[in-house]
Amino acid sequence: MIISSRFSSWLIAVLVVTTALAAGAKDFSPAIVYDFGGKFDRSFNQSASEGAARFTTETGTAVREFEITNAAQREQAMQQMARRGATIIVAIGFTQASAVEKVAKQFPNVMFTIVDAVVDLPNVQSVNFREQESSFLCGMAAALASKTGKVGFIGGMDIPLIRKFALGYVEGAKFVNPSAEVFQNMTGSTPAAWGDPTKGAELAKSQFGRGADVVFHAAGATGIGVMQAAKDSGRLSIGCDSNQDYLHPGSVLTSAVKRVDVATYKAFLDAKNGTWKPGQIVLGLAEQGVDYSYDEFNRAVLTPEMKQKIDAAKADIISGKLKVSEYKVQ
């Protein structure tokens, strides 16, 4: 007993000293928690990690990272980071909302930025995107490039966010070709749907079988399979979140780019400069939060005529002349 009580008092002393040091140092310490699919999904999370990397190279401040492998780790990871003196924690993905809500209440002095969800707390910044706008442009590209008048959409997990992509895509395709047929598939209804490329490829093949010749994925790492299937079958695919044109040059028509990297980078930079503000931020085409990609990898498939039409619609959306509907949960 004596030993253990002595040990515990020693432990407390150490804890007190380390906490004091952590509190006293007041170092700027940014942290980021990725969602399922992982930092290298070549899509959503990877975009965030590029933003974090840019921040590190420009400011020299290392960003602490955590890739979750099961749902229970989110809260633990955030608590750990907050306890170890993180100044700002960026949480990537809507699934982190409840964890952010809980941990943000426990650590009111830590700044939290969440992407793709809204958490209404005084120390939380919620960044959302108008994905329907970039999806609209991609729908236009798909319908313009399609020879059969049939195009496909493959979503990851069946959630309102992905429905938002789908709706914009359908509207874009119909805007170009009112009689265009759009096939829609969701990969699954659990987070495993973000990482199942075999299923993605199978879904893509089923849409090709029905006559689709362009397929757009909003499915994280599952989309890798979709794009591979498109390449194998000689069809076109449209990437998502990150610019994925480079994955299969000549087979990827364009990508619905979502600047999660900019959101991440800006959150870190603002926090460092003291200009970070809580509340809601919504980024669309006008704010350059979303866009479609055009570079040396897809120049051969996305012709100048297509680009001209897409750019015209883009200008109309920005000026408010053209309205893209937003998916509403009934």
Candidate list 22, 121, 192, 286; residue touching other proteins; CB under 8 A: 192
Answer for the pair 206, 225: CB distance below 8 angstroms, yes or no: no
CA separation for the pair 249, 231 (Å, rounded): 9
Q: Going along the chain, which residue ranges are E strands?
A: 30-34, 64-67, 88-92, 111-115, 124-129, 150-157, 181-188, 214-218, 236-241, 252-258, 279-283, 290-292
Footprint (CB under 8 A) of other proteins, residues 61-120: 67, 69
% helix, strand, coil for the chain, step of 5: 45, 20, 35
Tokens of 143: 């319908």
Q: Would you say 232 or 270 has its CB closer to other proteins?
A: 232
Residue type at 74 in one-letter notation: R
What is the smallest separation between the CB atom of 185 and other proteins, expressed in angstroms? 5
**72 HSE (CA, 13 A, CB side):** 0
Strand partners, 125: 113, 279
Q: Would you say 90 or 221 has its CB closer to other proteins?
A: 221
What is the smallest separation between the CB atom of 210 and other proteins, expressed in angstroms? 7
Stretch that binds other proteins, among 13-21, 91-99, 219-227, 307-315 (CB under 8 A): 219-227
> x-or-dash pattern for other proteins, window 242-261, by CB under 8 A?
-----x--------------
Candidate list 139, 156, 168, 197; residue touching other proteins; CB under 8 A: 197
Asked if 139 interacts with other proteins (CB under 8 A), we say no
Q: Would you say 82 or 252 has its CB closer to other proteins?
A: 252
Binding footprint of other proteins on the chain (CB under 8 A)? 38-41, 67, 69, 158, 183-186, 188-189, 192, 195-199, 201-203, 205-206, 209-210, 221, 224-225, 228, 232, 247
